[in-house]
Homo-oligomer: A and B are copies of this chain.
Amino acid sequence: MFLYSEKIYTPQGFVKGYIKIVDGKIHGIYEDTEGKFIDYKDKVIVPGFIDIHIHGWATGSFWYEGTEKSLENMSKELVKIGVTSYLATTGTDALDYIKSHLVSGKAAIDNWKPEKGSQVLGFHLEGPFINKEFKGMQKEEHCINPSIEILEDFFQSGGKENVKLITIAPELEGSLEFIKYVNKEGIQVSVGHSAAEFEDIRDLKDYGLGGFTHTFSGMRGFHHRRLGVAGAAMYFDDMYAEFAKQTGKTVSHEAFKIMFKLKGPEGILLSSDSTGLAHVKEPFHHYIRKCTFRPDGEYVNLVYDEGISERINKYDYEKVKNLELSYLDSVKNIINNVNASIGDIAKIASENPAKYIGVYDKKGSIEVGKDADLLVIDSDWNLQDVFLQGIKQELD
């Protein structure tokens, strides 16, 4: 198959040509072709987004449901917002809860095929090795110190090869040994939900701390004599700062812009940290949205603090997709806020995440030999078409 565009974004810049796709991979970008091709004319082709921090989205929630079906639902919907691969992300819960989710997650990974939508690349374990003091929306009673033994149990459940990223609070006892072990296994470590001091990060980073989870949120903040985790994220050029969906509410657009200026597009990772809010299993109050989500069978009831209520079928994509800002809308917000170029977005949404979790040999850019995970967009970043390993996806 051939796709033609005047503007194909590659790590070397824009090229014009025909992308040849063979067996789901990019075979080459050619100046000329024979036979059939899809003519995207002046539409832009960019690599698909990789969401390394996502618990749920729209009609599925791996965090709340933890079933193979929940990931299948997520995969089906995620392509509609440009996410062509992701890490199924666990939370800080009871160990058995996490393990059973990892078992289901492994099945979803093993049974995935491009026709199912966005690819589950593996797991991001957000805790349970995090600090109660900065638990955010995680559960205090399940915050525990890093443990290699527990991690090995997780490996048993989900497959060692599937664990790509772990968020920990590196000030907790046992962290150094844990970080060394995890680093040796080729697994990335992010600092998050952490009360660490700047000096803790400085002393531990070279053992294998690669970046920061939802930067600024759930971490010790910046002070000019006590820089904290936020200051470390600002200071260390060789560590990535992950930002969850840029609504401007959790992290102000100005704070994001300061970090973007400090680190440049090379140092920012965009994620969503979406949870699939429609699928909560017990009433959940969202302090940013000022709304309580109440489960009710096939429905979720939203009870806003201000008094209004709303009832939504949790499998109705058109309804639930508006419960959390989409990855694509987050991209659009960033473009407006920092005047990001297409290349900047390709870095923060595709290249950097792929490099961070060690899949850049297969994903994250439009290059020969890589998976043909492609977005066709117009000049306003509206999705025209999405390809997953060369398979055109259903967007409606």
Give the interface of A toward B (CB within 8 A): 198, 216-217, 221-225, 227, 230-231, 234-235, 249-252, 254-255, 257-258, 261-262
| Of A222, A227, A249, A250, most B-chain CB atoms within 10 Å | A222
The 9 closest A-B pairs by CB, nearest first: A216-B224, A224-B255, A224-B251, A234-B258, A222-B222, A235-B254, A225-B252, A227-B254, A235-B258
Copies of this chain present: 2
Give the docked Cα–Cα distance between A261 and B267 (Å): 14
Apart from the given pairs A224-B252, A225-B252, 13 other A-B contacts in the complex at a CB distance below 8 Å: A198-B254, A216-B224, A221-B222, A221-B223, A225-B249, A225-B251, A227-B255, A231-B254, A231-B255, A235-B254, A235-B257, A235-B258, A258-B262
Give the docked Cα–Cα distance between A261 and B237 (Å): 11
Give the docked Cα–Cα distance between A173 and B247 (Å): 33
Give the docked Cα–Cα distance between A221 and B223 (Å): 7
Give the docked Cα–Cα distance between A224 and B198 (Å): 17
A39 to chain B, nearest CB (A): 43
Give the docked Cα–Cα distance between A221 and B225 (Å): 11
Give the docked Cα–Cα distance between A227 and B255 (Å): 7
Residues of B with C-beta under 8 A to A251: 224-225
Give the docked Cα–Cα distance between A217 and B230 (Å): 18
Residues of B with C-beta under 8 A to A235: 254, 257-258
Give the docked Cα–Cα distance between A223 and B257 (Å): 13
Is B230 within 8 A of A224, CB to CB?
yes
Name the residue on B nearest A263 (C-beta).
B261
Give the docked Cα–Cα distance between A250 and B225 (Å): 7
Residues of B with C-beta under 8 A to A222: 221-222, 255
Choice from B224, B230, B252 contacting A227 with Cβ under 8 Å: B252
A266 to chain B, nearest CB (A): 14
Give the docked Cα–Cα distance between A5 and B120 (Å): 66
What are 18 contact pairs spanning A and B, CB under 8 A?
A198-B254, A216-B224, A217-B224, A221-B223, A221-B224, A222-B222, A224-B230, A224-B251, A224-B252, A224-B255, A225-B251, A225-B252, A227-B252, A231-B254, A231-B255, A235-B257, A235-B258, A262-B262
Residues of B with C-beta under 8 A to A252: 224-225, 227
A203 to chain B, nearest CB (A): 14
Give the docked Cα–Cα distance between A222 and B258 (Å): 11
Give the docked Cα–Cα distance between A200 and B251 (Å): 19
Give the docked Cα–Cα distance between A258 and B255 (Å): 14
Name the residue on B nearest A217 (C-beta).
B224
Choice from B225, B254, B261 contacting A262 with Cβ under 8 Å: B261
